[in-house]
Every structure is written in structure tokens, then in C-alpha cells.
Amino acid sequence: MRDGSAIRIPGAAVLALAGQLWAGGFYLSVENPGASPEARKVGAALTIKAVGCHDPANAKVTAQAIGMVNGELRTIPLKVTAMSEPGVFALARQWPSEGRWVIQLLGHNDGVVTSSLLRAGPAGVDLKSWRGEMREFTAAEIEDMLRN
């Protein structure tokens, strides 16, 4: 007769390792730059903080503005400025005031990817529109946020 524990032990080990792999995650937190004199000094429209169980000093963040201007889809790469605190970045406004815009933030840290989307316009960035995922957003998702 076979001992069922021989099957349960490897299965439990796989589940435990999978839990550790996803524990804590890696996310980008977006905040109003008003609380940071350093971010205000560079004219930041928002601050970005790498959070989760990964080393924030290893985080890399890139950004782009995707916009609809006069019926034409435009993409503008944006400069992200690293702040003195590891894993904290500032993003100054670099997109035109005309049109509708979505800011796409993409974070990488030790092989893990996370991304965020926010609406932006003439008044600045709408922090309440923030959406974040532990993956890259698709072009369709970005266009949907841009249109709605």
C-alpha cells in the first residue's frame, strides 16, 4: 500500500515556495510631491516610490506620456529623476497642455515588473485615477483609460 504523504510533502513544498515568490510583491506608489522639498525643487508633478519586499535601491523606473491630441495618438518619453532616498523618484510635467494624456510608469526590480497608469491634463496628474498592476499594461488598456 502506498503512503500518501510521499505526494503531499512535495506538493506542500511547491505551494510554500510559490507563496514566498509572490509575498510582498513590488509596486509603485504615487504621491503628491508637496511633502518633499527635494521633489518640489525639481518641479515634480508627482513622486513615485518603489515599495514591496525588494531592495528599493535596485528599482528602476521609466515613464511615458501617451496622449490623444486632435485625434492623433502621441507618445512622449518622460525623464524620471531619482531622489536621494533609494527607490524614490520624481516626475516633472513634460507633456503638452492640449489633449488628453495617460502617464505610464514602468518599474523593474530584480527581474520583477510592475506598472502604473494615471490620467494627466492641463491641471496636472489625477492621482485618484491611479491603476497599478504587477505586470505591464496592454496597449488596449492604456487606450481605454485614455478614451474614458
What's the pTM? 0.81
Tell whether 66 is covered by a domain.
yes
Tell whether 19 is covered by a domain.
no
pLDDT at residue 19, as a whole number: 40
In tens, the pLDDT along 44-94 reads 999 999 998 788 889 999 999 999 999 899 999 999 999 999 999 999 999
Tell whether 48 is covered by a domain.
yes
Q: What is the CATH number of the domain that holds 130?
A: 2.60.40
Full residue range of the structural domain in which residue 28 is found: 24-147
Cα–Cα distance for residue pair 108/28, rounded to 1 Å: 10
Furthest C-alpha separation in the chain: 75
Tell whether 9 is covered by a domain.
no
Q: How far is CA 135 from CA 72, 103, 109, 129, 138, in A?
A: 27, 16, 12, 18, 9
pLDDT top residue among 107 and 148: 107
pLDDT at residue 20, as a whole number: 39
Tell whether 107 is covered by a domain.
yes
CB 13 within 8 A of CB 99: no
66 CB neighbour count, 10 Å cutoff: 21
Tell whether 54 is covered by a domain.
yes
Cell of 9: 510533502
In tens, the pLDDT along 28-42 reads 999 999 989 999 999
Considering its fold, how many domains does the chain have in total?
1
